[in-house]
Amino acid sequence: MPSKAINAARLHGHIHDLAQIGKIGETGVCRLALSKEDRAGVELVKSWMEEAGMEAYIDPFANLIGVWRGSDPQAPVLMLGSHVDSQPYGGRFDGAIGVLGAIEVVQTMREEGLQPACTIEVVAFCDEEGCRFNKGLFGVRGMTGKLEVDELDRMDKNGVTRREALLEFGCDPADFEGYAFQAGRIGAFLELHIEQGPVLESLNEPIGIVSGISGPLWLTVEMTGFAGHAGSVPMSMRHDALLGSAKIIVALNELVRREPGAPTVGTVGSLSVFPDSRNIIPEKVSFTIDLRDIEIRRRNAHETELLSIIENVACEHGLTYTIREDTNSEPRYCADWIKESLHQEAALMGMKPPELMSGPFHDSLAMSHVCDYGMIFVRCLEGISHNPKEYASPEDISLGTELLYRTARRIVMEKERFQG
């Protein structure tokens, strides 16, 4: 295998140093979007962008953007990046290696004396995770003009709105008014990310090339019954919102398991009960549904059946309900020409990485609506992610970053790729 061009020691030093911000326990991190920890992480990464020779700034949507200008200012931009915000009980590699690997790509190119035809932008997108305001991909959707009407009014669990959090972070939502995404400005987007699943480890492969991203459907369901004394109301006369919710949750699990081998997944990850007392029949229950599939027709069919299940359970137990759609994205496939470039550069490295789909969504999902995109996955231990035990080896991360570097170099030195 040819020697690596990237500076692995510098890259892993950056990964280690960023992980100290919002550190929990020995290996975990908590950098919730637009928090003080998130701001500290962004400032540190900004300093590394500037050290790598980029102009760096924070846009109105709290995206951190580093710019290395190419020789042809009219050529569409090659964008690289990911995110540095985390889950509340997260790992140190999710998102971070995509941003820090991208910085390493630019720094290596500059040190080798390359002058790209097109401008390269490295982006740390704001709030990819979506855990704080229950709606992810905020920064990339803001950048690409895809925000929804109520985005700024969404509240976190402490009652802080996204508008207030942006202002505290140092961004003024009033600046949204003067921003308009320029169609065609970005030619391609490349993202390096840990797999967050067990496939690469099962194949004993350090890296993989992504074929596409499953389309996520996020719903918030609120079931309402009637509270009563747990000791005096007969079982046949109850309107138990938690019992109804439990039946729906079990039905979802059975629904997505029905077709053996299908990549469909369904999860209820958050649930709240009112009045939340041992001896009161639950009156109101709110829970989230996360339904994903790489085939939109199958996902839509599951959604239709799930809605019917909710209606039937509500009728059976005398409940009312509301359903709020938080996210609805169709599956998006990687550009063939980018996948081919990745395969060709991997072959020159003496590697033959497998192709695999992504169940989790990424910033690439939103970018796919405005430009071609490609992704590189890095093997992670036992497929663990969104957990302090998340781990990817320095060797595997270095290989993924080297492939990112070689593919980005190929693209920027072939300006006609974007123009033909």
Same domain, 402 and 380: yes
CB contact at 8 A, 67 and 55: yes
Region of residue 27 (left: phi > 0; alpha: psi -120 to 50; beta: else) = alpha
Mean pLDDT, to the nearest integer, of 260-267? 93
222: exposed, middle or buried (Cβ count in 10 Å: 0-12, 13-18, 19+): middle
* 94 labeled binding residue: yes
Same domain, 127 and 266: no
* 156 labeled binding residue: no
Same domain, 281 and 406: no
Tell me the per-residue pLDDT of 203-252, one tens digit each, with 9 for 90 and over: 999 999 999 999 889 999 999 999 999 999 999 999 999 999 999 999 99
* 239 labeled binding residue: no
* 362 labeled binding residue: no
Query: Tell me, what's the pLDDT at 96?
Result: 98
Same domain, 268 and 209: no
Same domain, 274 and 365: no
420 pLDDT above the threshold of 50: no
Domain boundary among 328, 363, 382: 328
Quick one: tokens of 32? 């919730």
- 17-21, 172-176, 325-329: lowest mean pLDDT where? 325-329
* 14 labeled binding residue: no
User: What is the CATH classification number for the domain harbouring 62?
Assistant: 3.40.630.10
Cα–Cα distance list, 314 to 134, 304, 387 (Å): 25, 16, 35
Same domain, 73 and 112: yes
Domain that holds residue 153: 8-214+331-419
Domain count, the chain: 2
Query: Tell me, what's the pLDDT at 3?
Result: 64
- Helix (H/G/I), strand (E/B), else coil: 303: helix
Q: What average pLDDT does the chain have? A: 95
Same domain, 40 and 106: yes
